[in-house]
Structure 1
């Protein structure tokens, strides 16, 4: 099949969507498919080409709130690109404007909406959850729910990477939901990469001896990640057991987070490690991964931790929670600092090294593309 991904969230500067796109461009051709990524950009161009895969940008304006990204402002330009590509299957990988554009494209190809974002959890529930019930919040955001319900009738699949999101969308009347979990890069992460000397150096960076516990936190420095809560939870747990926290990330909240660390020598913020092999060694050398975001659609860092034999401490909502199953870590009540601290202490005191049960991205794309192939063979089910 020729699969065209209308990818509004793609940015060459990085992020989870870029990692997903890179894996799709590697694995898709191996499975016999041609992959084309259509992304907003500063000009009409092919910005990357590989055997059987390419990234094509459509000249588009920058997104005002985060100029690292663009957005598809003109339906006609996007439709002309889709018509020229003549895809066998089309994906929309943002639930915002591009979902409506792809849903309404007059082409005959079947199509899916891949939920790379959970806006209600990331924003509405986080902002208003301490005041109103989720049912009340959903009523107040009925325009977004109707947007999803209306467009889902024109998609053959609404693909979610975690069961919690699939359930909420299905209960909200979104049609054609299906859960297809993602996975980790095959052959990259392993408990065998654990390096005690590296662990000792990271603890020394935190001003602690090797007898202390080393926690790792990885991700964008954005409000929905709740890094201040994570820092506070580690601080509470540290009152009972020595713990160092190494954070790897960058983003618009960096100054806020540095102020929150407030010179605590046991918490260090470093830039992301771009070298995948080096990052895999860091992951395997920690004692646990701690995460604060209940709005993850999958939580790749928790999956990578699990593949590295690392226990995870994650919220009990969203995609991160799935990675603590089967004894692979602890969940805590989302957004609850005291509960997070208690879960951290449990993991630190036990220091479990969970058995590796990691799904790979190869498995994800095999399952995803098989669903697409069945759709093409059986005919569109979108209304």
Structure 2
């Protein structure tokens, strides 16, 4: 079948969505499906992936909050391109305007909304969590819930990568919710990539000896990632025991992250690591991953850390929480620096070596993207067979 993905938040410099899309370009043809990505960009051009996959960049407007991204603004042009491509199934990748454009298209084919974004978690719940309960926030944002229910009525699937998001959407009245957990790129992340010399050099960069604890964070510099909160917690722990923190990433909140790290010589910021094998070595060489966002739809970095065999400190909300291996790290109260600091202190008191050994023992159980796409394409194939025209 020909699958066309209206991928509003794809960019060549992107992170998790880019990783996901590029693996889809390999997984689709392996099951004899043609995959075409339509992504907004400054200028129109095409990037080919073999004979059965391509990314078509269509002119879009620059996204004001992050200059790496653009967004679809011309619904008629998007519909004309779908008419020309004649897909067997259409995907939308965010619940914003592009999903409405896909819903409005007159083509008679199945449609699937992949929830790569959780606007309520990223914004509403984060902004107002100290002022109101989640139920009160949902009532205040009923206009968005009505929007989601309208999309649900016009899409065959609302695909979520975590039980938490799927349950929340179902409780909000959506009827076509499907849970299909994503996964890591196979063959890249492994405990075998742990490099004691790299770990020693990273601790030296943090002005610490190799008996210190090395924590790693990775991801966009954005408010929802809560890097200043993480730095505050690590700094508090550093008064008791030597703890170093490396944060790999960049983004629109760079200045606030730099300010938070400025007074701690044991916290270092580095650019994103685009080489996947180099990043796998970096991840496996840390003593633990620390993550701050409670609004992830899947949390790719936590899945990669699990496959790399390192313990994790994860918030107790959102999809990130699902990745914790009991005995290989700890949950902490989301958005609470004192809770995170207490979790790190407990980890140090228990002994990192035991946590690390357990994390390494279960690393091979991590779900891969191959399994995710096998399940996704099976869902699509079944949907297509159920249509009268499929006969």
TM-score (norm 2): 0.94
Give RMSD over aligned pairs: 1.3
Structure 2 distance, partners of 1:40, 1:105, is 18
State the partner residue of 1:92. Answer: 92
> Using a 3 Å threshold, how does the CA distance of structure 1 residues 326 and 31 change in structure 2: closer, same or farther?
farther
Which position in structure 2 is the counterpart of 1:2?
2
State yes or no: 1:208 paired with 2:208. yes
Q: CA shift at 1:67, angstroms?
A: 2.8
Residue pairs, 1:22-101, within 5 angstroms: 22-101=22-101
* Aligned counterpart, 2:370: 362
Cα deviation 1:293-336 (Å, max 9, x = unaligned): 00111111110000000111010111110110444431111111
Q: Name the SS for the 2:240 alignment partner.
A: coil
Distance 1:127 1:271 in 2: 28
Which residue of structure 2 aligns with residue 136 of structure 1? 136
DSSP-derived class of the 1:50 partner: coil
Is 1:372–2:380 an aligned residue pair? yes
Name the counterpart of 2:241. 241
CA contact (8 A) 1:36 1:55 kept: yes
Relative to 1, partners in 2 of residues 1:175 and 1:265: Cα closer, same or farther, differing over 3 Å?
same
Instruction: Give the paired residue count.
Output: 380
Q: Corresponding residue for 1:289?
A: 289
CA deviation map 1:30-59 (0-9, x unaligned)? 222111001112233313443311001222
The structural deviation recorded for 1:15 is 2.1
Per the alignment, in what secondary structure is the counterpart of residue 268 of structure 1? strand
**What's the secondary structure of 2:310's corresponding residue?**
coil
Distance 2:176 2:28 in 1: 23
SS at match of 2:201: helix
**Which residue number corresponds to residue 259 of structure 1?**
259
Whole-angstrom distance in 1 between the partners of 2:41 and 2:243? 43
Kept in 1: contact 2:314–2:320 (CA 8 A): yes
Question: Aligned partners of 1:347 and 1:271: how far apart in 2?
Answer: 28
Report the Cα distance in structure 1 between the residues aligned to 2:3 and 2:348, rounded to whole angstroms: 45
Mapped contact 1:306–1:328 kept (Cα < 8 A)? no
The residue that corresponds to 1:275 in the other structure is 275
2:221 is matched with 221
Any unmatched runs of 5+ in structure 1?
A: none
**Deviation at residue 220 of structure 1 after TM alignment:** 0.3
User: 1:162 matched to which residue of 2?
Assistant: 162
Instruction: Check the 8 A contact 1:58/1:77 in 2, yes or no.
Output: no
- Inter-partner Cα distance in structure 2 for 1:97 and 1:15: 21
Distance 1:369 1:327 in 2: 34
Provide the rounded CA distance (Å) in 2 between the counterparts of 1:43 and 1:272.
25
Instruction: State the TM-score, normalizing by the size of structure 1.
Output: 0.96
Contiguous gaps of at least 5 residues in structure 2: none
SS class of match (1:217): strand
Give the distance between the partners of 2:48 and 2:344, measured in 1 at CA.
42
Question: Given that residues 181 and 298 in structure 1 are in contact (C-alpha distance below 8 angstroms), is that contact kept between their aligned partners in structure 2?
Answer: yes
